[in-house]
Chain A
Amino acid sequence: MEAVSLKKDKFIIAGRNFKSRLIVGTGKYKNMSQCAKAVKLSGASIVTVAVRRVNISDKRKALLMDYIDPKKITYLPNTAGCFNSKDALRTLRLAREIGGWKLVKLEVLGDKKNLFPDMIETLKSTEVLSREGFKVMVYCNDDPLMAKRLENAGACAIMPLAAPIGSGLGIQNDTNIKIIRKQTKVPLIIDAGLGQASDATIAMELGCDGVLVNTAIAKATKPFNMALAFKNAVIAGRQSYLSGRIQKNLMGSASSPSKGII
């Protein structure tokens, strides 16, 4: 029997094999326990995290590490909230210091309203971080030229947006994503802008290696159900992509044989 299993289908980033092709963010949840449960249900092996000041005056505040064990789930420190290369580098150097994290997500934003990435600062930062030995997964625009430049600068994964962060619009430019797919040799992960599980399936069917989702799960009416839906959607999309879809035809083609019609 032909294998239906995806066991042999490896998802490798910077030399490490990850079980799930779904990466989830840990922001925007009502509380830590809701976040931890959603992460668990999503089956994600990687979660993005932010670097922020410790609350000195209120130490009773729950710590993320008490809810999600970084030994079991890979923490992917992110530079969310950074609007220039200097701040992004500072953030990731600090992140590395917390516990030796070298696999990081670079995100340098250029506009506070639409949250589009500043690709010039992003490229500059990618070059510096790669030289410093970081393994950089790079959030970027869906621009094939910039995506190629990032790859050439040493990015270990290219992560174009589907639509603005938190917008829930789904993939807006599948042509660009297809072109980026064709040219990209490192993992290609859709990051930001997904709204529902089927958006993730579409991303996977376009041939992307993974998806990164935060708001669509955290802000769903039922985050736990949505986490599960995304898990299944990513698996379905990957399986569909690997199965080789049929050609699109203008006209119909009957599923039942015409021979023996009464």
Chain B
Amino acid sequence: MKKIKKIKIKINGSFKFIKDNTNLSDLLKTLKIPLKKVAIELNQEILDKKKLNKQILRNNDKIEIVHFIGGG
């Protein structure tokens, strides 16, 4: 049986192993991220939320997902 290749990514500061060739849109769906309420950075570059399905994740990618919280 063919072994599924996994890659290591960092998401909001924590490491995560995911299947190779995963696109960002699918990953965010799995994580149940409410897209309308967040902004996403991949390796310090802000991504267009409409094009996440075209963004294939690579080994060592760093993702930041942020939203608004209470603050002064």
On whether the beta carbons of B68 and A80 are closer than 8 Å, the reply is no
B64 x A49 contact (CB < 8 A): no
- B65 contact from A32, A48, A54, A75, Cβ within 8 A: A54
Confirm or deny: B42 has a beta carbon within 8 angstroms of a beta carbon on chain A.
no
Given A94-B39, A97-B46, verify A50-B64 contact (CB < 8 Å). no
Say which residue of B11, B13, B70 sits within 8 Å of A35 (CB atoms): B70
CB–CB B46/A53 < 8 A? no
How far is it, in angstroms, between the C-alpha of A215 and the C-alpha of B72 when the chains are bound? 8
B54 at the interface (CB under 8 A from A): no
Query: Given A95-B39, A97-B39, A49–B70 Cβ distance below 8 Å?
Result: yes
Specify which of A28, A98, A165 is in contact with B68 (CB 8 Å cutoff). A98
How many Å lie between the Cα of A192 and that of B68 in the bound state? 20
Partner of B70, one of A26, A59, A93, A215: A26
Q: How many whole Å from A134's CB to the nearest CB in chain B?
A: 14
B66 in complex: contacting residue of A29, A65, A98, A99, CB < 8 Å: A98
Quick check: is A153 within 8 A (CB to CB) of the other chain?
no
B48 to chain A, nearest CB (A): 8
A12 adjacent to chain B (CB < 8 Å): no
Tell whether, in the assembled complex, residue A64 and residue B32 are in contact, meaning their CB atoms are under 8 Å apart.
no
Contacts of B14 in A (CB 8 A): 56-57
A63 to B31, CA, bound (A): 16
Residue in chain B with minimal CB distance to A55:
B12
Given A50-B71, A64-B69, A80-B71, decide whether A93 and B46 contact each other with a Cβ distance below 8 A.
yes
> Is B29 on the interface with A (CB-CB < 8 A)?
no
Residues of A within 8 A of B64 (CB): 53, 94
Total contacts A-B at CB 8 Å: 97
Determine the residue in chain B with the shortest Cβ distance to A31.
B70
Contact with A along B17-31 (1 / 0, CB 8 A): 000000000000001
- A214 contacts partner chain B, Cβ-Cβ < 8 Å: yes
Return the chain A residue nearest B68 by Cβ: A49
Which residues from chain A contact B36 at a C-beta distance below 8 Å? 99
Cα separation A95 to B33 with both chains bound (whole Å): 16
Asked if A51 is at the interface of the complex by the 8 Å CB criterion, the answer is yes
Residue ID in chain A nearest B46 by CB atoms: A97
Asked if A27 CB lies within 8 Å of chain B CBs, one says yes
B6 in contact (CB, < 8 A) = no
Say yes or no: A28 contacts B72, CB within 8 Å: yes
- In angstroms, Cα B69 to Cα A94, docked, is 13
Task: Please give the residue numbers on chain A whose beta carbons come within 8 Å of chain B beta carbons, in ascending order.
Answer: 25-29, 32, 35, 48-54, 56-57, 59, 63-65, 75, 77-78, 80, 90, 93-95, 97-99, 165-166, 192, 214-215
A26-B71, A51-B68 known; 16 new pairs, CB 8 Å cut-off, are A25-B72, A26-B72, A29-B70, A50-B68, A50-B69, A50-B72, A52-B71, A53-B65, A53-B66, A54-B38, A54-B66, A64-B68, A75-B68, A94-B66, A97-B39, A97-B49
